[in-house]
């Protein structure tokens, strides 16, 4: 927790300095607006902040889960694309009553993301292909494949985008609480999935096996664990989380996928969330909420003479400092452990001599 808090403090301080450089008279009010985040807009602002946090939390969970198992899934963006397209496909072309329609769409999107992540997992265990290279290349394949699928199946010719999902496939809104906002039950699902992932990784035999494989592949193999299967399971589950993010993000009437090539930014935001959350599922949950909170504050900063892109600079500083502070803390922990071992060895030697 300490590295993340230090990083956040330094990032905000750097942001304040940047605001002073560009517009000193408005720096403090703008920073206060930034820190208020979604609260600037009342209940509606909070609801919108939670809506935008949902896919970021889940892609952060996807990357964090892979981290805990010794893998770096940088393909969350592509997995999210396939999950989003599949959910839209079910939401547009299938005829099911609510709530079964959106439930099936979510499940199918989750499966699609998992199958897309399965490919780099298999490449790693079969041919020892680095998952970073394989998964990032799969992002570009996914981008072009989704465009082809949209044009052949759910294409809106007039708008050059996918069609809207049917009302029965729309996620139920939470507008009774957050009036006028876009938030839906996706945020509840994201929180439950984060808790479930934490339990899986820390409280189950499978989770122990996955973490052991990530800590030491050779040691786990020697202990009799099926490390090759663990790699495939970890990548598939990570992809399922990213696919779920895509489904929850696009099962909304009015939100459609364009046919212009682009990589989902939420997939790369997931890397930031996982780093800020120190690779822990619960950490990713709070980091995703915090990142969305800052982005909301950046939107309201337009009330002053600042552009919301200032948030990207602050977030970048926070992520860099998180990585550096974690490395520094790891260095001192190792030094402390080495000194303790040396002290114990000296004490035992002196005891043996006496």
**Report for 114-123, 273-282, 320-329: range of highest mean pLDDT:** 114-123
* Dist CA 146 CA 144 (whole Å): 5
Q: Note whether 260 and 114 are within 8 A (CB).
A: no
pLDDT category, 159, cuts 50, 70, 90?
Answer: confident
Cα angle value 228/83/133 (rounded, 5°) = 45
pLDDT above 90 for 18: no
Picking from 302, 296, 303, the residue whose alpha carbon sits closest to that of residue 44 is 296
pLDDT at 197: 96
pLDDT at 288: 93
pLDDT at 262: 80
Higher pLDDT, 102 or 320: 102
Helix (H) / strand (E) containing 196:
helix 186-203
pLDDT category, 1, cuts 50, 70, 90?
Answer: low
- Residues facing residue 155 across a β-bridge: 162
Mean pLDDT along residues 31-35: 89
pTM: 0.88
Q: What DSSP line would sit under 242-273, residue for residue?
A: HHHHHHHHH-STT---BSS----HHHHHHHHH
Residue with tokens 């619960």: 282
328: helix, strand or coil: helix
Give the chain's mean pLDDT.
88
100-114, 211-225, 244-258, 337-351, range with the lowest pLDDT: 337-351
**Which residues neighbour 203 within 8 Å (Cβ) at sequence distance 6 or greater?**
none
Q: Note whether 266 and 63 are within 8 A (CB).
A: no
């Amino acid at each position: 927790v300490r590295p993340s808090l230090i990083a956040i403090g330094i990032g905000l301080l750097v942001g304040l300095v940047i605001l002073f450089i560009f517009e000193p008279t408005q720096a403090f009010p703008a920073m206060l607006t930034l820190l208020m985040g979604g609260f600037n807009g009342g209940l509606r602002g909070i609801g919108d902040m939670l809506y935008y946090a949902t896919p970021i939390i889940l892609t952060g969970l996807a990357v964090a889960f892979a981290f805990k198992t010794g893998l770096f899934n940088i393909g969350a963006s592509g997995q999210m694309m396939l999950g989003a397209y599949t959910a839209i496909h079910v939401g547009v072309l299938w005829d099911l009553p609510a709530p079964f329609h959106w439930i099936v769409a979510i499940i199918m999107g989750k499966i699609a993301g998992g199958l897309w992540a399965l490919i780099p997992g298999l490449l790693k265990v079969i041919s020892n292909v680095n998952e970073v290279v394989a998964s990032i290349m799969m992002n570009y394949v996914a981008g072009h494949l989704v465009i082809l699928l949209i044009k052949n199946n759910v294409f809106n010719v007039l708008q050059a985008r996918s069609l809207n999902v049917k009302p029965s496939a729309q996620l139920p809104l939470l507008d009774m609480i957050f009036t006028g906002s876009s938030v839906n039950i996706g945020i509840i699902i994201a929180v439950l999935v984060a808790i479930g992932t934490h339990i899986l990784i820390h409280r189950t035999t499978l989770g122990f096996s996955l973490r052991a494989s990530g800590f030491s592949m050779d040691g786990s193999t020697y202990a009799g664990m099926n490390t090759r299967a663990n790699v495939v399971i970890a990548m598939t589950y990570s992809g399922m989380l990213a696919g779920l993010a895509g489904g929850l993000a696009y099962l909304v009437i009015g939100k459609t996928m364009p046919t212009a090539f682009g990589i989902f930014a939420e997939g790369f935001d997931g890397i930031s969330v996982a780093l800020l959350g120190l690779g822990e599922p619960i950490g990713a949950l709070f980091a995703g909420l915090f990142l969305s909170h800052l982005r909301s504050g950046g939107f309201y900063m337009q009330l002053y003479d600042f552009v919301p892109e200032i948030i990207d600079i602050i977030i970048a500083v926070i992520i860099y400092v998180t990585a550096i502070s974690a490395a520094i803390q790891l260095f001192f922990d190792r030094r402390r452990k080495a000194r303790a071992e040396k002290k114990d060895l000296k004490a035992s030697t002196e005891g043996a001599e006496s």
